Amino acid sequence: MCELFAMSSEHPVRLRYALAEFATHGGQRFANRDGWGIVFAQPRDAYLFKEPSAGSTSALEKMVASQPPLSRLVVAHVRRATVGTPSLANTHPFQRRIHGQTHSFAHNGDLAELKVRYAGSPQAGECVGETDSELAFMVLLSQFAKLNDTATLADRFEIFTEFCHEIRPMGDSNVLYAQGETLFIHSDKRQYEYAYGALGPSRSPGLHMRQIPREEMLWEVKGASLKKHSHGSQVLIASVPLDSGEWTGLVEGTTLAFREGYEIMRGTL
């Protein structure tokens, strides 16, 4: 099953941990060999690196891991193709620029009913690839388009929560969505892989969360590091715990918004 990861940080940091772990999640430990991608958000733009192949053998992934850009917000995805062939157009995260701001989206799950419901729609016409995940992104952006220039972050979080409420009955729908340097997430259920690569039945939690304390200046595990230049908070989101630290499984149906390393909004479907 696809793996998701995100980080929200109080100050810009160079995060090597996610890249090192995702290289192994992308083919050496699990059967996710169909693509990988990572976004390093900036205030209005974002670096995006992705390939339709295993991250564990990617020279580009190794380059990014050794020289990650400074960023307050990171979104990463490792793909196991279920809808759409392995191709760049079908590789997460998906990205669009609207009104001078970059939007990034990654999803884990299966939303076959969404493709039926929106077949032939304007949202389907905006898709570059074939995935239900990209279509879900286009549906979300079309709902944001209804907001006017005076819309608040609370208005946007409400739209996001309503969108997750709409797609959740259609199948597993774990979502990472970055709007500028604000991170929105939805935790649902997911299929977990057995040691031999087969998928088990869907179960919660779909996402896990880990908080890095402000005073912890160097966080380091084997092959991974997050080095701070000043005191600041970081929150990590992942499909599965990536180390032996204090990861909290998120309740099924939880929506959250983070900015600069802190939770700022929470909802439950």
Q: Residue 220 has what pLDDT?
A: 64
Average pLDDT score over residue span 120-142? 97
Does the annotation count 2 as an active-site position?
Answer: yes
CATH code of the domain in which 69 resides: 3.60.20.10
CA distance 184 to 196: 33
113-122, 164-173, 175-184, 212-221: lowest mean pLDDT where? 212-221
Q: Per residue, what are the HEC states of the chain?
A: CCEEEEEEEEEEEEECHHHHHHHHHHHHCCCCCCEEEEEEECCCCEEEEEECCCHHHCHHHHHHHHCCCCEEEEEEEEECCCCCCCCHHHCCCEEEEECCEEEEEEEEECCHHHHHHCCCCHHHHCCCCCCHHHHHHHHHHHHHCCCCCCCCHHHHHHHHHHHHHHHHHHCCEEEEEEECCEEEEEECCEEEECCCCCEEEEECCCCEEEEECCCCCEEEECCEEEECCCCCCEEEEECCCCCCCCCEECCCCEEEEEECCEEEEEEEC
Residue 224 pairs with which residues in a beta bridge? 221
Domain of residue 94 covers 3-268
Domain count, the chain: 1
Select which of 1, 2, 159, 257 is catalytic.
Answer: 2
Q: What are phi and psi of 267, to 5 degrees?
A: -140, 160
pLDDT(133) > 90:
yes
Residue 96 pairs with which residues in a beta bridge? 103
Q: Residue 26 has what pLDDT?
A: 45
Average pLDDT score over residue span 106-123? 94
pTM as predicted: 0.91
Q: Residue 47 has what pLDDT?
A: 97
